[in-house]
């Protein structure tokens, strides 16, 4: 984050520079009042009154202009921050969500919005004005040392109140925000699984779990707000009290012939100006804590980013090689020393029992996860380190769990990029879903997804997702249980698509438990407990399996990880 802060430092430096003159010009009114009482009223000089009045009005006009420019600078800093961080933060959030130990941080864009609004609001002004509080105290001291010492003590006490508020609320507010994030994630997950929840009578259990999270948030927030509210109440009565006391002290000095009435009024106004930034910081402390939490979360996310620019590699041809690939989660080994290779255009049937690691291996081959040991190479390059923006158009993936984005069918097939009608129709025809799409109300412009889209059946979803995997010019395609929801017509279309992929020399991996899908494959890889139990040309593997007394195609559960 510091790297980006250097880019925005110009905004803060200019805002600080303007703050110097803003705070100097803020002395205009008290000095004007001092001159009125000690010069104009005693001399009865009209020219003096006109002169200082014109000067004061001009100074206040300049003050307003500088304050406007400072505000615009900080708003621009927030906008620039949004533009700079949004894309890399979203990219890193997506990457973090793909890790084997998924990150629970899903609110990076919301945190950027919090920071942008913080810079656009009034809360941040206190940080630019507070450093000039000593200037006001010095001015009061020059009017009279006793008044200056009183102002210094008042500022220190108010600062201590602010520090106490930080100590009493920081931990509770941070914990409340963390649990509130868990609560939001839980609600989001519940909404996505609403049908399962209602069908299986889980509503009460879900509500009770949410209620427990919500209760923790309320307790922590109530405790933090109780302390903050009490200290804010003290600070609100504290400043008027200091105004009363400095008037009384000034009056005492006048009675002792050590000061004038003009000094009393000027010192009181300057004192209010001196304490205002500190009080403003206290009143907006909740916003500051929220912004600081957002900054820390974004900073932690950015620290995990790979900021190095990668050289763009040429388009792959499809040669896939795995070299001793191993992956674990905690102390559990999911995949152990997997090695094999596929030539360009070869098809691999990936089989094995539930929990053998088939889906995990698919994610490694696609570069979604990084191997703990060993390397997955596509045309000799480490597929995990390959820039996904460059590699993505040459990769097709049909996962077990299919989700679509809010948009049209054509946009989803085109992977939410620029829609090439010719490529969209070609992919749909290849997956055998072109005719079905044309029968929909708006054809390829039919809306699907969570917001206002039509509901597709399981088979339709799988075939549209197949078209998405085939879109463009993929050189490597991974199909994880591509026929789990297909009827006979859909499976025939899938077999035809696999034959076309073979003709086009597109390297293809098929996870399946149905023998019919293995007719076109060149090689078979059987996983057992995360290890290669059998691998080789299809005929040789089946021959070995039959010779060992095992079924040629063991039962496989599509949900295997």
> pLDDT tens for residues 485-525?
888 888 899 999 999 999 999 999 999 888 778 888 999 99
CATH number at residue 521: 3.40.50.300
Instruction: Give the largest CA-CA distance in the chain.
Output: 120
Compute the chain's Rg from CA coordinates.
Answer: 34
The answer as to whether 299 is a domain residue is no
Lowest mean pLDDT among 15-29, 191-205, 421-435: 191-205
How much is the pLDDT for 450?
A: 67
183 and 143 fall within a common domain? yes
pLDDT band at residue 106 under the 50/70/90 scheme = low
Higher-pLDDT residue of 332 and 253 is 253
The verdict on 84 and 172 lying in the same domain is no
Task: Specify if 407 maps to a domain.
Answer: yes
Indicate if the pLDDT at residue 185 is higher than 60: yes
- The answer as to whether 9 is a domain residue is yes
In a domain, 341, yes or no: yes
CA distance 367 to 268: 67
> What tokens does 229 get?
């509210």
Residue scoring higher pLDDT (106 or 268): 268
Q: Full-prediction pTM beyond 0.85?
A: no
Closest by CA position to 165, among listed 100, 109, 223, 215: 223
Same-domain status, 380 and 515: yes
According to DSSP, the residues that pair with 373 across neighbouring strands are 326
Is 324 inside a domain boundary? yes
pLDDT of residue 413: 92
> Is the confidence at residue 104, as pLDDT, over 60?
no
Range of the domain at 1: 1-123
Q: Which of 230, 224, 231 is nearest to 173 (CA)?
A: 224
- Average pLDDT (51-79) is 92
159 shares a domain with 114:
no
Q: Is the CB of residue 296 less than 8 Å from the CB of residue 178? A: no
Least confident range from 114-128, 132-146, 212-226, 544-558: namely: 544-558
Nearest partner of 391 among 378, 372, 410, 374, judged by Cα: 378
Task: Name the helix (H) or strand (E) containing 411.
Answer: helix 409-413
- Give the strand pairing for 407-408 and 395-398: unpaired
Torsion of CA 357, 360, 361, 366, to 10 degrees: 170
Do 393 and 500 reside in the same domain of the chain?
yes
Query: Quick one: pLDDT at residue 402?
Result: 87
389 and 525 in a single domain? The answer is yes
Same domain, 84 and 190: no
Q: For residues 117 and 139, state if they share a domain.
A: no
514 within domain boundaries: yes
Number of other CB atoms surrounding residue 228 within 10 Å:
21
Distance CA 374, CA 376 (A): 7
HSE at residue 399, side-chain half, CA atoms within 13 A, is 11
Q: Which two tokens stand for residue 38?
A: 């000690």
Looking at the structure, tell me whether residues 332 and 472 fall in a common domain. Answer: yes
CATH number of the domain encompassing residue 256: 1.20.1560.10
The yes-or-no verdict on residue 466 having pLDDT over 90 is: yes
Among 283, 311, 339, identify where a domain stops. Answer: 283
Among 123, 148, 167, where does a domain finish?
A: 123
Query: Do residues 337 and 68 lie in contact, with contact meaning Cβ atoms separated by under 8 Å?
Result: no
Domain identity same for 163 and 112:
no
| % helix, strand, coil for the chain, step of 5 | 65, 10, 25
DSSP string, 386-409: S-HHHHGGGEEEE-SS----SEEH
For residue 323, the SS3 value is strand
Mean of all residue pLDDT scores within the chain: 85
Residue 179 region, left (φ>0) first, then alpha (ψ -120 to 50), else beta?
Answer: alpha
Nearest-angstrom CA–CA distance, 434 and 429: 5
Angle at 294 between CA 126 and CA 92, to 5 degrees: 145
Ramachandran region, residue 452 (left: φ > 0; alpha: ψ -120 to 50; beta: rest): left
**Sheet with 381-382: strands ordered across:** 332-342, 320-329, 373-378, 381-382
For residue 355, which of 324, 329, 334, 332 has the smallest C-alpha distance? Answer: 334
What span, in angstroms and rounded, lies between the C-alpha atoms of 47 and 53? Answer: 10
Same domain flag for 96 and 222: no
Residue 159 lies in a domain: yes
Residue 277 to residue 300: CA distance in whole angstroms = 30
At residue 183 the predicted structure's pLDDT band, cuts being 50, 70 and 90, is confident
Asked if residue 17 belongs to a domain, the reply is yes
CA–CA dist 371, 365 (Å, integer): 10
**Count of structural domains within the chain:** 3
DSSP at 173: H
Question: Which residue is associated with the tokens 């708003």?
Answer: 75
Pairing between β-strand 507-511 and β-strand 407-408 as defined by DSSP bridges: unpaired
- CA-nearest of 488, 537, 543 to 516 is 488
> Domain check: are 262 and 397 in the same one?
no
Q: In which element (H, E) is residue 337 found?
A: strand 332-342
424 CB burial (10 A radius; 0-12, 13-18, 19+): buried
CB of 369 closer than 8 Å to CB of 99: yes
CA distance 132 to 58: 22
- pLDDT (tens digit per residue) in 273-311: 888 888 788 778 778 878 888 888 888 877 776 654 566
Q: Which of 261, 283, 305 is the last residue of a domain?
A: 283
pLDDT confidence of residue 550: 54
Does pLDDT of 239 surpass 60? yes
């Amino acid at each position: 984050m510091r790297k980006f802060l250097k880019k925005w430092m110009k905004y803060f430096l200019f805002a600080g520079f303007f703050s110097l003159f803003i705070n100097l010009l803020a002395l205009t009114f008290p000095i004007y009042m001092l001159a009125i009482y000690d010069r104009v009223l005693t001399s009865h000089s009209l020219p003096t009154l006109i002169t200082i009045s014109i000067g004061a009005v001009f100074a206040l006009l300049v003050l307003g202009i500088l304050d406007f420019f400072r505000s615009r600078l900080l708003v621009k800093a927030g906008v620039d921050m949004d533009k700079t961080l949004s894309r890399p933060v979203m990219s890193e959030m997506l990457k973090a969500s793909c890790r084997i130990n998924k990150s629970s941080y899903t609110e990076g864009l919301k945190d950027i919005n919090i920071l942008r609004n913080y810079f656009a609001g009034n809360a941040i002004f206190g940080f630019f004005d507070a450093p000039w509080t000593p200037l006001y105290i010095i001015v009061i001291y020059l009017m009279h040392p006793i008044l200056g010492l009183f102002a210094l003590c008042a500022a220190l006490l108010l600062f201590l109140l602010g520090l106490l508020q930080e100590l009493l609320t920081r931990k509770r507010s941070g914990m409340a925000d963390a649990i509130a994030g868990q609560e939001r994630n839980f609600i989001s997950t519940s909404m996505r699984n609403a049908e399962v929840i209602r069908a299986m009578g889980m509503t009460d259990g879900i509500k009770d779990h949410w209620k427990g999270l919500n209760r923790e948030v309320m307790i922590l927030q109530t405790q933090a707000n109780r302390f903050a509210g009490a200290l804010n109440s003290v600070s609100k009565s504290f400043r008027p009290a200091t105004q009363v006391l400095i008037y009384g002290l000034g009056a005492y000095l006048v009675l002792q012939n050590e000061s004038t009435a003009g000094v009393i009024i000027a010192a009181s106004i300057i004192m209010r100006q001196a304490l205002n930034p500190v009080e403003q910081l206290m009143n907006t402390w909740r916003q500051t804590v929220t912004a600081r939490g957002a900054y820390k979360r974004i900073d932690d996310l950015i620290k995990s980013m790979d900021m190095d620019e990668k050289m763009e590699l040429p388009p792959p041809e499809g040669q896939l090689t795995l070299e001793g690939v191993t992956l674990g989660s905690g102390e559990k080994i999911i995949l152990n020393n997997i090695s094999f290779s596929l030539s360009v255009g070869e098809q691999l049937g990936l089989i094995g029992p539930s929990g053998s690691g088939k889906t995990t291996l698919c994610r490694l081959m696609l570069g979604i996860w990084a191997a703990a040991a060993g390397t997955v190479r596509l045309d000799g390059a480490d597929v995990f380190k390959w820039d996904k923006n460059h590699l993505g158009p040459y990769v097709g993936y049909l996962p077990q769990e299919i989700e679509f984005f809010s948009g049209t069918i054509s946009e989803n097939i085109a992977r939410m990029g620029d829609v090439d009608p010719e490529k969209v129709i070609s992919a749909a025809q290849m997956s055998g879903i072109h005719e079905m799409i044309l029968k929909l109300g708006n054809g390829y412009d039919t809306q699907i997804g969570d917001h206002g889209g039509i509901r597709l059946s399981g088979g339709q979803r799988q075939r549209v997702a197949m078209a998405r995997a085939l879109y463009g010019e993929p050189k490597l395609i991974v199909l994880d249980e591509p026929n789990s929801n297909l009827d006979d017509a859909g499976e025939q279309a899938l077999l035809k698509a696999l034959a076309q992929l073979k003709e086009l020399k597109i390297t293809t991996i098929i996870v399946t438990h149905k023998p019919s899908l293995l007719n076109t494959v060149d090689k078979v890889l059987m996983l057992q407990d995360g290890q290669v139990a059998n691998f080789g040309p299809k005929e040789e593997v089946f021959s070995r399996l039959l010779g060992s007394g095992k079924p040629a195609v063991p039962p496989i559960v599509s949900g295997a990880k």
